[in-house]
Amino acid sequence: MTKADIVEEVYSRVGFSKKESSDVVETVLETIKKTLEKGDVVKIAGFGNFAIRHKGSRKGRNPKTGQEIEITPRKVVTFKPSQVFKEHILQYDARKAEEEAGGRV
């Protein structure tokens, strides 16, 4: 699934024009990026939280040459799915398992 497919889903599920759907998708993604860039957390209820983690420097190794190198401190994005998101997956799997079991009887 790509951005275009999400635009398509928004268009078909809620009936806004493709232009509007596409504009909102772009703006949502850009807003999340800008917020993370500032170092702020983005909390999407029912979906999950995007946050920045500061990683300290550590020793690494060039896998080709085996040479030891210093990995510089850096900031990385982490995503923690909400309980609702995790349940969404588990419930889908439970339904599917039930259907399959039902189909065999």
Partner 1 sequence: MTKAELVETVVENINGLTKKQTEVIVNTIFESIKDALARGDKVELRGFGSFKIRQRQSREGRNPKTGEMVAVPAKRVPFFKAGKELKIRVDN
Question: Two tokens at 37?
Answer: 């860039």
CA dihedral sign, ordered 67, 72, 75, 80: positive
Binding mask 32-71 for partner 1 (x = CB under 8 A): xx-xxx--xxxxxxxxx-x-x-------------------
CB 32 within 8 A of CB 42: yes
- Answer for which of 18, 60, 61, 90 binds partner 1 (CB under 8 A) is 90
Quote the CA–CA distance of 32 and 21 in Å, as a whole number: 17
Residues that bind partner 1 (CB under 8 A): 1-3, 5-6, 9-10, 13-14, 16, 20-21, 23-25, 27-29, 31-33, 35-37, 40-48, 50, 52, 74-77, 79, 81, 85-86, 88-90, 92-93
